[in-house]
Amino acid sequence: MWGGRFKGGPSALMREINASIAFDKRLWREDIQASLAHVVMLEAQAIIGEDDASAIAEGLERIADEYALKGVPEDPALEDIHMHVEARLAELIGPAAGRLHTARSRNDQVATDFRLWTRNAIDEADAALAAFGRVLVARAEAHCDAVMPGFTHLQSAQPVTLGHHLMAWFEMLRRDRSRFADARARLNESPLGAAALAGTSFPIDRDATAAALGFDRPMANSLDAVSDRDFALDYLASAAFCALHLSRMAEELVLWASQPFAFVALPDDFSTGSSIMPQKRNPDAAELVRGHAGRIAGQLVSLVVTMKGLPLAYSKDMQDDKEPVFLAHDLLLLSLQALAAMVEKTAFRTERMRAAAEAGFATATDLADWLVRCAGLPFREAHHVTGRVVALAEERGCALADLDLAALQAIDARIDSRVFEILTVDASVKSRTSYGGTAPERVKEQIKRAKKTLNV
């Protein structure tokens, strides 16, 4: 490929450090796809002849069939997937294979292949997010009025509904989908035709190759086209955000499955046992999803550090751009699929959730609001009065609703019997009717909007 400039070949160590075929073989479909678009354009522009173009196209399609059937062979001497394809093409059709590389470089070739692969990865992530979203919406709809404690600082705060909580998870995934969509829109420009860094003197048609490959347009600057990896960083940033959200969901499932919470029973097929403790049902799948989030975030940091000091245009450091994206892609899809399947099969112990909500003085804010609304107290005074009521209930070991009126009036004479209408957890959740609130009617509205976005 470049031996004419050198008197000797590379050492064994140079071959080892220089070769990328072990991982960039994953780009073989995209490499052949881009090469087919390129050769069609070369023929249309009369840069190569019809016979050579036909032979090249037929050879590329045969290579695609071979790779699909047997996989990609790995020869470190050929360095990367591009040279593997070109070498095999030469074996199949002879010297005409050398015309394929007219008016392009491996620099714009790999940038094109990698963009195509990452675009597909984004589409896979979006499909998995949508599938998980449908699971959450279905479970939320089934439990839109099931009462559970809402937490701040992991302390019982106010009653919410399980449906509302699950729809909070859905909103996380909705934002993840939007981030991936934004990344895809920015990605969808074609580097092909930028050549090594300066463009080419051949009369190529970059609009034609961009359209053939499903890009919106060619990239506007040839230097930027071959040196940009923002699209890979965009993917990794979106994946890291998504993994962060999955980790938070997984953490809640781990907590909820523990005996002190006992809010859920995780399915057998997403749990494991202990080698020594027969009673154990460990939430290993959720814990692994939680662990994968750190690895995915690490891939983002890895590529950020690789790219941060590189001058324009291409540097060999950029060969290390693919493995972080490949690993993040694999971990993210596995995490999405596993957590979605787990949530779909998890049994929610709604009676246990209700009991926990009733035991934690979670309607204290409702009492404070009632004192403001019905007794005319300033909120800060109402907050103080409510605190005294909670202290009394705690001292007596009962719920707020179980205190008698005389005890309440001993704390503040302005309290009357109407207060008992708002001290139950059901009354509390039904009262939270502000937009986005936990009232079942509002949760049903959230579900309806979600179904529309998911085409359910």
Report, as residue numbers or ranges, the catalytic residues.
Answer: 153, 274
* Among 251, 257, 261, residue whose Cα is nearest residue 357: 261
The answer to whether the CB of 314 falls within 8 A of the CB of 227 is yes
Backbone angles phi, psi at 232, to 5 degrees: -70, -40
**If you ran DSSP here, which 8-state letter would residue 303 be given?**
H
Distance, in Å, from the CA atom of 260 to the CA atom of 274, rounded to the nearest integer, reads: 19
| CA atoms lying within 13 Å on the CB side of residue 77 | 3
The answer to whether the CB of 164 falls within 8 A of the CB of 438 is yes
Distance, in Å, from the CA atom of 138 to the CA atom of 197, rounded to the nearest integer, reads: 51
Give the pair of three-digit tokens for residue 395. 């001292």
Distance, in Å, from the CA atom of 252 to the CA atom of 205, rounded to the nearest integer, reads: 54
Q: What is the dihedral of CA 202, 207, 208, 209, to 10 degrees?
A: 80
Give the pair of three-digit tokens for residue 239. 């994946």
Distance, in Å, from the CA atom of 320 to the CA atom of 307, rounded to the nearest integer, reads: 10
Q: Which amino acid is at 332?
A: L
In DSSP terms, 264 is beta-bridged to: 348
Could you give the angle at the alpha carbon of 170 between the alpha carbons of 340 and 262, nearest 5°? 65
- Helix (H, G, I), strand (E, B), or coil: what is residue 218? strand
Distance, in Å, from the CA atom of 151 to the CA atom of 355, rounded to the nearest integer, reads: 14
Query: 264-265 and 217-218 as β-strands: parallel, antiparallel, unpaired?
Result: unpaired
Q: What is the dihedral of CA 298, 300, 305, 309, to 10 degrees?
A: 180
* Among 214, 208, 292, residue whose Cα is nearest residue 249: 292
Give the pair of three-digit tokens for residue 227. 């040196």
